[in-house]
Amino acid sequence: MSEAEFLSAYDAGRYERPSVTVDLILMSVVEDALTALLVRRDEHPHQGAWTLPGGFVGIDESLDAAARRLLASKARMDNAYLEQLYTFGAVDRDPRTRIISVAYFALLPPERFAAALKAAPELALSELVVPWSGETGGPVEACSADGEALPLAFDHADMLGLAVLRLRGKLDYSGVAFALLPERFTLRALQDVHETVLGTRLNKPAFRRRMLDSGRLEATGERETGASFRPAELYRHRTAV
């Protein structure tokens, strides 16, 4: 039998098909707090709970195409660099049916969320509360602007927890922290981002020495404006080191 003959006779219904979804983990640092974009569910299951922006993948749609579509339609954003984080496939993760979800992850500066939050009242940039230290791992919690705990649907607390864990693990050897900063920034701002992501205070002289010795920073020769004290020097991320 040729391959063409095999394929023409193949029974696509021979095996049950799980559904596939994409969920978007869009994170930022706002006022020294780690945050993520969430959407309130208006239908069952978990009606009234909060989830990551996401949806089902079409039968003729690639995962990346679905992620881009959902970024625009659910998160009300575009032109964000998304990368696959992990595939979540616990059998009972969704009460409707067997659903496998591919989580995509992006770090964005706070201003990228302003238009989306204004256009879609069901969206919220919620503060993440990480109940574990270092790279212990585990689910995280989400809070509203007034500190109220937000119930998270499905396994999205685990998705957010894995995103925080991955972010902490990549902080020292990659440029992920710079995605949360403007083009020009102070060493203080860079340390603030690291401390927020890591959930701990860092020794100021040791941190600055490590950053300056890393070769990833380039002095701009400029200083911050509007400071009431001696203006701090501004740096930029040197992308090629």
Final residue of a structural domain among 170, 195, 228:
170
107 in the same domain as 181: no
165 has a pLDDT exceeding 70: yes
Q: Strands (DSSP E) along 6-65, which ranges?
A: 19-30, 33-40, 50-51, 54-56
* More confident of the two residues 225 and 240: 225
Start-to-end CA distance of the chain, whole Å, equals 55
> Which domain covers residue 190, as residue numbers?
176-237
CATH of the domain at 78: 3.90.79.10
Q: What is the pLDDT of residue 228?
A: 67
CATH of the domain at 198: 1.10.10.10
201 in the same domain as 144: no
Q: Encode pLDDT of 74-112 as tens digits.
A: 999 988 999 999 999 999 999 999 999 999 999 999 999
38 in the same domain as 138: yes
| Within-domain flag for 12 | no
Average pLDDT over residues 147-155: 96
pLDDT band at 241 (very low <50, low <70, confident <90, very high): very low
184 in the same domain as 162: no
Average pLDDT over residues 51-57: 98
Final residue of a structural domain among 122, 140, 170:
170
136 in the same domain as 100: yes
| Within-domain flag for 10 | no
80 in the same domain as 145: yes
Q: Which contacts of 213-220 are long-range, i.e. CB under 8 A and separated by 24 or more positions? A: 214/241, 215/241, 216/175, 216/241, 220/184
Average pLDDT over residues 14-32: 95
| Within-domain flag for 229 | yes
Final residue of a structural domain among 170, 192, 213:
170
> Considering the chain, what percentage of its residues have pLDDT values greater than 70?
98
137 in the same domain as 109: yes
240 has a pLDDT exceeding 70: no
| Within-domain flag for 231 | yes
Tell the burial category of 171 from Cβ atoms under 10 Å away from its Cβ (0-12, 13-18, 19+). middle
| Within-domain flag for 37 | yes
Q: What is the pLDDT of residue 164?
A: 97
Q: Encode pLDDT of 116-146 as tens digits.
A: 999 999 999 999 999 999 999 999 999 998 9
127 in the same domain as 166: yes
220 in the same domain as 116: no
Give the pairing of strands 33-40 and 123-129: antiparallel
Number of domains in the chain: 2
| Within-domain flag for 11 | no
Give the pairing of strands 99-107 and 19-30: parallel
110 in the same domain as 225: no
47 in the same domain as 65: yes
What distance lies between CA 236 and its chain's CA centroid? 23
52 in the same domain as 105: yes
